[in-house]
Amino acid sequence: MGAELEDYPEESPTRYVTVSGFWMDETPVINAQFRRFVKVTGYRTVAERDLDAARYPNLAPESLAAGSLVFRPTGGPVDLTDMTQWWRFVPGASWQHPEGPGSSIAGRELHPVVHVGWEDVEAYADWIGKQLPSEAEWERAARGGLDSSMYAWGDEFSPRGRLMANIWVGEFPWQNLKAPDRQRTTPVRDYDPNGFGLFDVTGNVWEWTSDYYRARPADAAAHPCCAPSDPRVDGPDGSYDESEPGGAHIPRRVIKGGSHLCAPSYCRRYRPAARQAQQVESSMSHLGFRCILRP
């Protein structure tokens, strides 16, 4: 697991772990699957519920309305350290309305579901009788047997000039050189699977894992002889970030895989080793999940 890259210290150290056998969904959960879950159960996602003002005393009243974070391209180059330049909280945005009121998933039934928080993905997994993968399980599966390669398909970013995943093409966050209908999520299976037959482990949408976030791995072994077995981070201690809105009381979990917003000019997290922290109560227009089944 992991990588030794100067720009992404949270991925180090490279380390050995072992994981027990499991089965993983071939693709992220798609809109058609999530719609069936909602139809059967009547479930309402976190993004479809108003926030409790007592839990978010520093938020403006308009930000307490049901909604989610939606990506908006900028009109030109901006400061890449300020994500508020391209992320907007949009009232009414949800898995059914990915860009906000007036948008829908019609024609996107095979796209990954987005705008799902941790509570939502856990509810879906419980309903279908599966689990969410740990970070180690997810990374093992995403590597597809290429345990020391940079990408899920090898070490070359675009072999023979071919784009291998749905990522950003152009200068982020203002210049998107892909066709208009390819600039957000794309149908699963549009790109080749990895060595284990898994689609979209790179790009398209970030994917939730069950591990709470730590800046450094809790278990690390420099040699296979000492590899921890099935490492998991099951407690929230150390996962909080007080610099984020509500960060003092909202734990974060690890998300993996990158998304269609990852770009060589900004975010090279379209690699199996890449990891990022996500507040469990947050949902975004590039965040989805897939499930596993343990014996």
Over residues 147-172, the pLDDT tens digits come to: 999 999 999 999 999 999 999 999 99
pTM: 0.95
Measured in whole angstroms, the distance separating CA 193 from the mean position of its chain's CA atoms is 18
What's the number of domains the chain is made of? 1
- The parent domain of residue 289 ranges over 1-295
pLDDT tens digits, one per residue of 186-232 = 999 999 999 999 999 999 999 999 999 999 876 677 788 889 999 99
- The two tokens of residue 76 are 């030109």
Q: Spell out where 104-223 has E strands.
A: 206-212
pLDDT at 218: 64
Candidate from 37-46, 233-242, 281-290 with smallest mean pLDDT:
233-242
C-alpha distances in Å from residue 276, one per residue of 135, 245, 273: 11, 17, 10
Here the CATH number for the domain that contains residue 160 is 3.90.1580.10
Identify whether the C-beta of residue 24 lies closer than 8 Å to the C-beta of residue 209: no
Let me know: does 27 contact 111? Beta carbons within 8 Å: no
Phi-psi region of 23 (alpha: psi -120 to 50; beta: other; left: phi over 0): beta
Give the model's pLDDT for residue 53: 76
Tokens of 174: 């203002």
Mean pLDDT of the chain: 94
Q: For residue range 74-118, what is the model confidence (pLDDT) as tens digits? A: 999 999 999 999 999 999 999 999 999 999 999 999 999 999 999
pLDDT of residue 289: 98
Mean pLDDT of 3-17: 93
How many Å apart are CA 131 and CA 232, to the nearest integer? Answer: 13
Would you place residue 282 in the very low, low, confident or very high pLDDT band (cuts 50, 70, 90)?
Answer: very high
Provide mean pLDDT across the span 19-40: 98
Q: Please give the pLDDT value at position 157.
A: 96
Q: Biggest alpha carbon distance in the chain?
A: 56
